[in-house]
Amino acid sequence: MLTGMQIAVIGGDARQLEVVRKLTELDAKLFLVGFEQLDHSFTGAVKESLGSLELSEIDTIILPVPGTGSDGKVETIFSSEDVIITEEIISKTPPHCTIYSGISNDYLNGIIKKAKRRLVKLFERDDVAIYNSIPTVEGTIMMAIQHTDFTIHGSNVVVLGFGRTGMSVSRTFQALGAKVKVGARKSEDLARITEMAMTPFHLSNLAENVRDVDICINTIPFPIVTASILANMPVHTLLIDLASKPGGTDFRYAEKRGIKALLAPGLPGIVAPKTAGQILANVLSQLIEEDMHIRKGKSQ
């Protein structure tokens, strides 16, 4: 239970509603900033403006998945007001206050560091990334179906990267009957790809492995699908780039060559906001409970 914890949820999309639901069920007291247009109300949660929030009593701040923009602006789909997080705001919280976001950027890292608070980036955690790969894969399948006139079954699929997302993507496309090749650079990844009955190749041999590709799915956040790689792909190839912005594809050259290349960020929040929110809510509730116990232990 989170009885006694005072938590500010600042901005966010439908995923944050699952977080609010879970944390209020656990008896935390919630302050919702940037939610004034939300029709729904939650027992134990009050809507506040950033200016009227008693920051000195806040134990935890939960930011939206992207954290803030590079100007400190927080994404607020349930509000028309600008909500901007500054170092001054963070400094008004008590020293034990922990800030949670999905990812971060130089601006957010900088203000948190200057304010000497702790920032937890949930998407850096393996558990969150692996759970999140489930709706990501479903969104990728949706895109593959929407943007092709052939079945996934029987098609040549190349997946780039064999991390938490790449592994889930390649296994699922294989289960749908695609002939899946996976490009990686670690020998243990190449061994695992073989063990899973897919075709491995080292990324240094990427150019020769895309000559007959129908669907290429990139999960590597690095410029990997360069013009010279695209030049080797058939023109009918559908390229779905899942890597975080700006992706790993030379989109300008893809367009020039007539290859359909789609950057597809944030699929979990688009195809399954409820599940994506529950993934965050479950991890957040555990982490906040741990914070609470550590703090109580220190004060005894």
Position among 68, 79, 165, 237 found at the interface with ligand NAP (CB under 6 A):
165
**CA distances in angstroms from 58 to 164, 216, 291, listed in the order given:** 34, 46, 13
Q: How many residues bind ligand NAP (CB under 6 A)?
A: 25
Nearest CA to 184 out of 156, 165, 163, 207 is that of 163
Q: To the nearest 10°, the Cα dihedral for 188, 193, 195, 196?
A: 150
CA distance 286 to 131: 15
What is the SS3 assignment for 152? coil
Q: To the nearest 10°, the Cα dihedral for 234, 238, 240, 241?
A: 30
Least CB distance to ligand NAP at residue 13 (A): 13
226 near ligand NAP, rule: CB under 6 A: no
Q: To the nearest 10°, the Cα dihedral for 48, 275, 105, 94?
A: 40
User: Judging by beta carbons within 10 Å of its beta carbon (0-12, 13-18, 19+), is residue 51 exposed, middle or buried?
Assistant: exposed
Binding mask 111-150 for ligand NAP (x = CB under 6 A): ------------------x--x---x--------------
173 near ligand NAP, rule: CB under 6 A: no
267 near ligand NAP, rule: CB under 6 A: yes
166 near ligand NAP, rule: CB under 6 A: yes
Minimum CB distance to ligand NAP smaller for 24 or for 226: 226
Position among 12, 34, 161, 200 found at the interface with ligand NAP (CB under 6 A):
161
Residue of this chain nearest to ligand NAP (CB atom):
163
Least CB distance to ligand NAP at residue 169 (A): 9
Q: Interaction with ligand NAP in 227-266: which residues (CB under 6 A)? A: 242-244, 264-266
CA distance 72 to 83: 8
181 near ligand NAP, rule: CB under 6 A: no
Contacts with ligand NAP, residue ranges (CB under 6 A): 129, 132, 136, 161-166, 184-186, 203, 219-222, 242-244, 264-268
